Amino acid sequence: MTKKPQGKCIFCGGDGLSKQHVWPEWLKNVIPRETSTHIQHRMKINYLSPECILVHPSFELHQGHGGVKKIRNVCRKCNSGWMSSLETKAKPILTSLILGEPITLDAHSQLVISAWSVMSNIMNEFTDQPTAAIPSFHRQILMESKRPAEGWNIWLGWYKGVNWKLRCRHHGFAAVPASQLINNNVNKIKGNTHVSTFVLGELMIYSMSSTLPNFNIEFPGPLSQSLRRIWPINQESIVWPPCQLLTDLDVNFIADAFCLDLMKNHSNRVVPFTPSFHP
């Protein structure tokens, strides 16, 4: 019987994989684990034309709180080395943000939280590998420089709702000119763009990345006043929490805004999959 080849670390390519929590273990001391199950919801959308949009939803109920979920794709050296170091730097800042405590985010704090957000996005993507859209060179840049690669945009919001205490919604896209589909199977095109919305307690993190130029999103007036961009850094300091808070309806809109905008304004592009993951 042929032996299954050993897996390689998604960051350094090394051997000796270890299990890594998708959500850091220390979060249980900040956000109580009130449920014993979690739901993984996937929605695959084939956007073939403005007149033809195929939607394939599915729901899976899993045992255990979403915070206990682990994946085996990181080597022990990375796990106990630079990843642990980044987690240690981010923890006190994140704790204040999660609890809604007053804090001033200087440029260094914004960099640390941005790098942590990229790392968390990468780990979350691998809970559903077919939908992954963050390229390997972005993982390498994070490992080597401890900062997001070019093409990342990250915002924070102050959440005061009920339904998003610990949740992630992820949309992965393969956005390409429709002309490129003539000789290509839709299902073989790799993802190159993603948006993710994390909520941890009172902290919402909205992240977007793409290998394509000029991919961005503008939020309508009231919401733009509620969000604080931390990457690319455009303020030397951010006073937290902001004056405007986010409700469940606000976060629902933010989480799906980019997907809806693509469908409405990019009829010359194809979005082969748009999955969502909800712990």
DSSP codes, 50-74: TTEEEEEEEEEEEES-GGG-EEEEE
- Tens digit of each residue's pLDDT, the chain (279 residues): 556 667 899 999 999 999 888 888 888 888 876 665 545 555 555 555 555 555 554 555 545 555 567 888 999 999 999 999 999 999 999 999 999 999 999 999 999 999 999 999 999 888 877 778 899 999 999 999 999 999 999 999 999 998 888 888 888 877 766 666 555 555 566 778 888 899 999 999 999 998 887 777 777 677 888 999 999 999 999 999 999 999 999 998 898 887 766 656 544 444 444 444 444
User: Is the pTM for the entire model greater than 0.75?
Assistant: yes
Residue 278 backbone dihedrals phi, psi, to 5 degrees: -125, 100
Token pair 């010359």 in the structure block, residue: 268
123, 134 contact by CB (below 8 A): no
Nearest to 98 by CA among 113, 78, 88, 85: 113
For the stretch 189-212, pLDDT in tens is 677 888 889 999 999 999 999 888
Name the helix (H) or strand (E) containing 49. strand 37-49
Nearest to 83 by CA among 164, 152, 139, 155: 139
Residue 147, token pair as written in the block: 């900062």
